Structure 1
Amino acid sequence: MSTPSSTPIPFSPEEIASEGLKPGEYDEIFQRLGRHPNRAELGMFGVMWSEHCCYKNSRPLLKQFPTEGPRILVGPGENAGVVDVGHGQRLVFKIESHNHPSAVEPFQGAATGVGGILRDIFTMGARPIAALNALRFGTLEDPNTRRIFTGVVSGISHYGNCFGVPTVGGEIYFDAAYAGNPLVNAMAIGLMETEDIVKSGASGIGNPVLYVGSTTGRDGMGGASFASAELTDESEADRPAVQVGDPFLEKSLVEACLEAFKTGAVVAAQDMGAAGITCSTSEMAVNGGVGIELDLDKVPVRETGMVPYEYLLSESQERMLFVGHKGREQELIDIFERWGLHAVVAGEVIQEPIVRILFQGDVAAEVPASALADNTPLYEREVLAEPPAYVQTAWAWSEGRLPNASAAGIDGKSWNQVLLALLSTPTIASKQWVYHQYDHQVQNNTVMLPGGADAAILRLRPLEGDDGTSSNSGVAATTDCNPRYVYLNPYGGGLAAVAEAARNLSCVGAEPIAVTDNLNFGSPEKPVGYWQLAEACRGLADGCRLFDTPVTGGNVSLYNETVDSEGKPQPIYPTPVVGMVGVIDDLDLICGQSWQNPGDRIYLLGTPLGDLADETVTLGASEYLKVIHGQVAGRPPKVNVDLELKVQAACRHGIRQGWITSAHDAAEGGVAIALAESAIGGELGATIHLPDTQQRQDTLLFGEGGARILVTVSPQYFSLWEEYLTQHLAAQWMTLGTVAQANDPLTIQTPSGNPLISVDLPTMVDSWRYAIERALDN
């Protein structure tokens, strides 16, 4: 950092801090400009040097992610990633967070999160075809959590339903670690409609810069800085930092943009998301190696008396910035006006690599573009040499500390009661209360409805002039992360998130191809927080390399912390959400998680029940340990990558051969919960035979671990399937039992035939299907 100027600083330390800037960063701004910034320029640096925009704490860690592969057409650095899914089709996808806005104003925070990610997709020249979300909340016993939860779900459904994009999948966890600081991660998927992928780099000196879309107001002021600070009791006063969205206007915007892109008159396009005009002008300039001059007097506004600071930091929604070809301005303006939207020439591309902002005939701001969007602060912090004390304490826990698990149950609870208690836990229970509020069938491409499978499946419509070869192909998508695993072992938890996302896709028959990630963490300025971030990134990077799923982009959301009643900051669980997409060549060869036919045989692929030597299955970090025993402890299950790859390949092969009739990942709650979920979905019972083993019965039933998939196979394929398994998985599989009739219970019995669990379907359905509704009614 530079030596501070001897000239008096025109801003107080409090004013500098209010922009999210540190004293040393202000000194660096002075050095870059050769003078003190004015008020507008200070605000520009504040938002562009926020963690949300420049990733100053995470950028060194992100460099280890694999970003290239034969299917990758556009990787990190643009509005969204683009991959080749075959048959001439190009898929565009990305995930982003809107955590802090959703904590302060749940409905609009979540709604504008959806709107923002949809704009990232169609800015590339793609039509959005689906949305997913990854959500984390506190416990539903807390009235504030219930308010945030219902508001977020309403905001997501409002924007997606009104815009006309199906919300087809996602995941929800509930834990006190997220009380007051929910995680709202929105993912969107689109298909390219333009021949050329639209990128953000401005070019062509003298080309016009067009402002298109909605008007600019004071909503969303300083949203990027707000998203890069810890939440406090005073955060309610930051409601102006939460944007207000209009999904109907955005529906017109996508149509106008795609029509404009197809004319060839657009050189570059950039969404005005975080940091609004400041971000879009500086990033377009840097990405093109040019400068941009913009006149604020030409920007359409909806409020009077706005000053440059407000124009530049506003995050009003549904706005874009275009660079057009000179002489074709009116052609673009006419398109937007036909859709009822604003489109004005507000500036031009200039040779000098600066962002120059004009206002009322004067220069309101003039800053080197690279200082805002390229050569930004970077903090390479030291990573703890060994796990912090809380992790070492957790790892010292062992299953031997639990009461003895007898055939009758544990801790005064029968195994039937334990199963029902887990099924009614909101994290495991049915999410139908949520997804019934989403339109998941609009556009008529949703092949698998929410709740029906471990991943969403979408039909790919053939392109215009297509010979029909793509008419039966599809894509699958999922989001995944077990935050408790990451909390107790950030490296292993990051690796496990990639493994489970790939497993979810494999369970529907899809080949995993690429990842977008959303890194939700606490403060990186605290040694434990940075260790969690660094280790989780290392796990994600290794996972993406091992599963051959390069990262195409994503989002980093740090400073996710709240303040407890004693004024102490409490970080969330580290939560690196993985959004993954896969390809399906034939939609006739897919399957869901529900049992289909009485008489089908049930198999467990992966680590067999009763395997005492394998650390891939454990009660450590499990939902059972947390819910039944109130403990967050132990080592999370170890990821066996070689076994994962073999199990997932076997599952995909069985589905593509038409042998497998259902497939379901055994995740939270272990094999017993996976069996119950498949039984509930298929409305069929089963009799399961446990092996003769010395392993604890609760570990057999509820131990968690990767590389485990439950599948069912029709009788005519038993011999073919078992021959294949013997050849490719050796001893890493077993038969569990047979699917029974609709009026039969789910029975899990010992080798001697004594039932540990025997629960009828109506009882399981009641516990599982209505748990969230009951929690909200309390």
Structure 2
Amino acid sequence: MTLDTVKHAAETPESEQPWKELGLKQDEYERIREILDRRPTGAELAMYSVMWSEHCSYKSSKVHLKQFGEKAPENDALLVGIGENAGVVDVGQGYAVTFKVESHNHPSYIEPYQGAATGVGGIVRDILAMGARPVAVMDPLRFGAADHPDTKRVLPGVVAGIGGYGNCLGLPNIGGEVVFDACYQGNPLVNALCVGVMKHEDIHLAKASGTGNKVILYGARTGGDGIGGVSVLASETFDSTGPSRRPAVQVGDPFQEKLLIECTLEIFREDLVDGIQDLGGAGLSCATSELASAGSGGMRVELDTVPLRDATLSPEEILMSESQERMCAVVEPGKVDRFLEICEKWDVIATVIGEVTEGERLEIFWHGEQIVDVPPRTVAHEGPVYHRPYARPEWQDALQADDANALARPANAAELREQILKLVASPNQASKAWITDQYDRFVQGNTILAQPEDSGMVRVDEDTDLGVAVSTDGNGRYAKLDPYAGAQLALAESYRNVAASGAKPLAISNCLNFGSPEDPAVMWQFAEATRGLADGCLALGTPVTGGNVSLYNQTGETAIHPTPVVAVLGVIDDVTRRTPIAFAEEGQLLYLLGDTREEFGGSAWSQVVHEHLGGLPPQVDLDREKLLAEILISGSRDGMIDAAHDLSDGGVVQAVVESCLRGGRGARLVVPDGLDAFTFLLSESAGRAIVAVPRSEELRFTDMCGARGLPATRIGVIDGDSVEVQGEFSIPLSELRTAHEETVPGLLA
């Protein structure tokens, strides 16, 4: 077979090419020919196909994502924003923290263990590439119905992959979510987040500058796993029998990644790199084109020098391979020897595969023959931009008119008690300890808070006790009812969770999980959610630092609920002042902060008791969220609050049960004036939290709330060994613990 060189491509313009099989549209293929003024070579076609995929190019979403920049709030803490491997924020004392959340949804459905494991590996390398030491991971997960046979196939593999990879890296898993809903059947969402810490001067960017600088590929050898993997697989819809194409899912090696991390950090300490990029989706196609595109010159690569695990790989396959645990660095010639010495010390393979050139082209050669000659920006940053048609779906009005507030409520206290026990034992509200116990949450010794706390928290500086808190949240049911409000509710809940632990929210990352962009109804959901999130971040003063879009999450015509997952990062000056959720001190007073209304649309109660989804989600008041956060942070810092728990799914009763079980103490509650027991216990009104206040601090705390205008209602006391609602019912903690803790193991063990 004749090698398809640039010269050969120019001489054979009519040769048929498999552009359609590689996921390109005809107009996209014609655009490539127009850019090159000839047909592409096979290697060029491979590069454009993966880099112009939905997963890599954001071609359907970028017209909406630009709002995150246009509406970005002023924030002095933001050091690196959208466009790099991950965002970076200033947390004080000379420290910077980088964090990002991404998806690995489709690979995790096909091969749950490796899909999830390599999702963790990929996000860790994104953080590493910024110059930071990874210090913690989190995993927001969504699965189909808890009792569905396929959930029992997918979930254990995903959990084992996350735990296996993260535990081997020695990274604590400090938070996340596990949600079950039939809409995710066949389309589980496996989102992964990583947090890293560095000093300001250690920030590194992905660019190739300096003519004559060497391009070094280091890490694992390149194999046949993941060829076209996430870049192609995450860019199309699954049909009823599975994906229409099944590229190999990447195979991870966490021990190789651990060596790569330590090797890279030593390289950073000796200031040996001018630019660096991890190899994730689209592999070498991505790393070379993005480095060259962001730099000041061109790049020449000798592809046949790439170390291989499989000598039979073609140039196209090498460029498309998404083999894991690989990085690409740009190094000055005088520093190359030392770079290679450090790699040898850590038993990491490193090879000079090219150099930065004076020109403006990315040129790739195979045994002396040129197989790629492209303007790198056209590959990496100037892909197609689609203004997809979108329209509010015809069924939206009927869905919102099907008001959950009109559902039949419990007829008496006994029925209310029964429904609360059913709620506490439901898969989404039940304890996820069977899952989270498979993760090491305390390795490295700096974990301050972890599941099931409102947010994860790690110590950044062991001398000053500076720390950061992170929470991830999202509610697809709310977003299905109103995507704009649903996205803001996800943001508000994550923001509230961080504040409830005592940390000041600073910035966000997001993972936007939606169905097919070719469906106008889905595109409307995406447009509305993005608009809601951008408006919400502006109101709260929390800029978007980066994130991920995952589209085509649907089987046939059935899309998942729109699921924007929002990660909020906050800073706390002294982690010893953090606020846990546990009710631990008998006699402390319980206060409900915020306003409670009859809001049951999308609620856990409507789902568990009535299998219903309809109406409107809770109202969003971002000014109230800011005020609530200020009170929670001040109360924690000044010793007025010993425990706090945000209110979200399941309302007051779910939060009280979780805090009681966490602390091993009961609570006696009184229904506030103006509310009935049902609304008080189960409403999901936003902008609320429950706090435990020492009696000695009650006056100071209530004065603070009153002075700032935040409603604070005394609703009970920590006492006894049951959850008692005066005049209604009492449930022993032993009964609640059984209901709460046996569901998930019973379904999945």
- Report TM bin, short chain: over 0.9
The answer to whether residue 406 in structure 2 is matched with residue 406 in structure 1 is: no
Deviation at 1:400, TM superposition (A): 5.8
Pairing partner for 1:699 from 657, 669, 679: 679
1:180 CA drift (Å): 0.9
Corresponding position of 2:94:
88
**Cα pair distance change 1:375/1:236, threshold 3 Å:** closer
Distance between the aligned counterparts of 1:631 and 1:400, measured in 2?
11
Read off the aligned partner of 1:402 and give its amino acid letter: L
Percent identical pairs in the alignment equals: 43
Task: Classify the secondary structure of the residue corresponding to 2:322.
Answer: coil
Instruction: Tell me the residue number matched to 1:395.
Output: 400
Does structure 1 retain, via aligned residues, the 8 Å contact 2:143–2:180? yes
Is structure 2 residue 28 aligned with structure 1 residue 21?
Answer: no
* 1:214 to 1:586, Cα distance in 2 relative to 1, 3 A: same
2:118 match: 112
Q: Secondary structure at the match of 2:151?
A: helix
1:39 CA displacement: 1.8
Deviation string for 1:161-191 (max 9, x for gaps)?
A: 0011111111111000000111011000011
- 1:665 maps to a residue whose letter is D
User: How many positions carry a matched residue from both structures?
Assistant: 736
Matched, 1:736 2:715: yes
The whole-number CA distance in structure 2 between the counterparts of 1:297 and 1:303 is 12
CA distance 1:115–1:205, shift in 2 (3 Å) = same
Counterpart residue number, 1:461 = 461
Asked if the contact 2:253/2:325 (under 8 Å) is kept, the reply is yes
Structure 2 partner of 1:614: none
Q: Deviations over 1:254-301 (max 9, x none)?
A: 111111122222111010111000000000011113211111111100
Matched, 1:662 2:650: no
Cα distance in 2, alignment partners of residues 418 and 336 from structure 1:
60
* Residue 696 to residue 738, structure 1, CA distance change in 2 (3 Å): closer
Matched, 1:351 2:320: no
Whether contact under 8 Å (2:94, 2:199) holds in the other structure is no
Distance in 1 (alpha carbons) for counterparts of 2:228 and 2:533: 31
Secondary structure in structure 2 of the residue aligned to 1:266:
coil
Return 5+ residue gaps in structure 1 as ranges: 463-467, 564-568, 612-616
Following superposition of structure 1 onto structure 2, how do residues 264-275 of structure 1 map, counting pairs within 5 Å? 264-275=271-282
Question: Which residue identity does 2:175 align to in structure 1?
Answer: G
Quote the offset at 1:727 in angstroms: 1.4
- 1:44-91 CA-partner distances (Å, limit 9, x unpaired): 111000111110111111111145620011111111111100011111
Give the Å deviation of 1:432.
0.6
1:327 Cα deviation (Å)? 2.5
Which residue of the partner structure matches residue 334 of structure 2? 327
Residue 431 of structure 1 is matched in structure 2 by 432
Q: Distance in 1 between matches of 2:14 and 2:481?
A: 46
Q: Aligned equivalents of 2:241 and 2:280: distance in 1?
A: 24
Match of 1:588 in 2: 576
Of 58-67 and 535-544, more deviation after overlay is shown by 58-67
Shift of 1:461: 2.2
Residue equivalent to 1:298:
305
- Shift of residue 229, structure 1, vs aligned partner: 1.2
Give the corresponding residue for 2:156. Answer: 150
SS of the counterpart of 2:329? strand
Deviation at 1:686, TM superposition (A): 1.6
Matches within 5 A, 1:278-297: 278-297=285-304
Relative distance call for 1:325 and 1:725 in structure 2 (3 A) is: same
Conserved? CA contact 1:602–1:735, under 8 Å: yes
TM-score normalised according to structure 1 size: 0.92
* Distance verdict in 2 for CA 1:441–1:227, change over 3 Å: same
Alignment of 1:537-576 (within 5 A): 537-563=530-556, 569-576=557-564
8 Å CA contact 1:126, 1:194 repeated in 2: no
Question: 1:69-468 residue pairs with structure 2 within 5 A?
Answer: 69-192=75-198, 195-223=201-229, 224-232=231-239, 235=242, 238-384=245-391, 387-399=392-404, 401-408=406-413, 414-451=415-452, 453-462=453-462, 468=463
1:195 and 1:262 map into 2 onto residues whose CA distance is 11
Q: Check the 8 A contact 1:194/1:262 in 2, yes or no.
A: no
Secondary structure of 1:195's counterpart equals helix
Counterpart of 1:566? none
Where do residues 457-496 of structure 1 align in structure 2 (5 Å cutoff)?
Answer: 457-462=457-462, 468=463, 471-496=464-489
Paired letter, 1:40: A
Q: Secondary structure at the match of 1:187?
A: strand
Aligned with 2:594 (options 597, 606, 614): 606
What's the CA shift string for 1:383-404, capped at 9, x where partnerless? Answer: 42xx322221121123563225
CA distance in 2, matches of 1:633, 1:7: 59
Give the ranges of 4+ consecutive aligned residues of structure 1 lying more than 6 Å apart after TM superposition: 5-8
Determine which of 728, 737, 747 is the counterpart of 1:765. Answer: 737
8 Å Cα contact 2:228-2:321 kept in structure 1: yes
Alpha-carbon spacing, 1:194–1:658, altered in 2? closer, same or farther (3 Å): closer
1:644-676 Cα deviation digits (max 9, x unpaired): 211221111111110111100111011111111
Contact persistence 1:38–1:365 (CA under 8 A)? yes
Q: Structure 2: any 5+ residue segments left out of the alignment?
A: 1-9
Q: Which amino acid aligns with 2:444?
A: Q
Cα contact 1:82–1:92 (8 A) shared by 2: yes
Which secondary structure state, in structure 2, belongs to the residue aligned with residue 403 of structure 1? Answer: coil
Does the 8 Å CA contact 1:687/1:738 hold for their aligned counterparts? yes
- Cα 1:17/1:705, change in 2 over 3 Å: farther
How much has 1:405 moved relative to structure 2? 3.7
CA distance in 2, matches of 1:240, 1:226: 7
After superposition, the C-alpha distances for 1:502-556 in whole angstroms (9 at most, x for unaligned) are 1001111000001111111111111101000000001110111111111111111
Q: Distance in 2 between matches of 1:429 and 1:191?
A: 33
Q: Does 1:723 align with 2:703?
A: yes
- Comparing 114-123 and 646-655, the one that deviates more: 646-655
Change (3 A) 1:9 1:708: farther
Q: 1:697 to 1:559 in 2, by over 3 A?
A: same
Residue of structure 2 in register with 1:597 after alignment = 585
Q: Which residue of 1 aligns with 2:3?
A: none
Which amino acid letter does the alignment assign opposite residue 31 of structure 1? E
Partners of 1:194 and 1:258 within 8 A in 2:
no
Which amino acid counterpart does residue 178 of structure 1 have in structure 2?
A: Y
Supply the distance in 2 between the matched residues of 1:91 and 1:454 (Cα, whole angstroms): 20
CA offsets 1:743-764 (integer angstroms, 9 cap, x no match): 3x21113xxxx21x31100000
Alignment deviations for residues 686-744 of structure 1 (CA, whole Å, 9 cap, x no partner):
21111343x665333211121010001011111111111221125x2211011112x3x
Equivalent residues of 1:647, 1:729 under 8 A apart:
no
2:529 corresponds to? 536
Aligned partner of residue 250 in structure 2, secondary structure: coil
Name which of structure 1's ranges 580-589 and 225-234 shifts more when overlaid on structure 2: 225-234
Distance 2:283 2:575 in 1: 41
How far apart are the structure 2 equivalents of 1:6 and 1:558? 38
SS in 2 for 1:379: coil
With the length of structure 2 as denominator, give the TM-score of the two structures.
Answer: 0.96
C-alpha displacement of 1:234: 6.0
Question: Taking structure 1 as reference, are residues 193 and 127 closer, same or farther at Cα in structure 2, changes over 3 Å only?
Answer: farther
Say if 2:27 is the partner of 1:55.
no
In the alignment, does 2:34 pair up with 1:31? yes
Counterpart of 2:63, as a letter, is P
Taking only aligned residues, the RMSD between alpha carbons, in angstroms, comes to 1.8
Contact map agreement 1:218 1:240 (CA 8 A) in 2: no
Partner of 1:510: 503
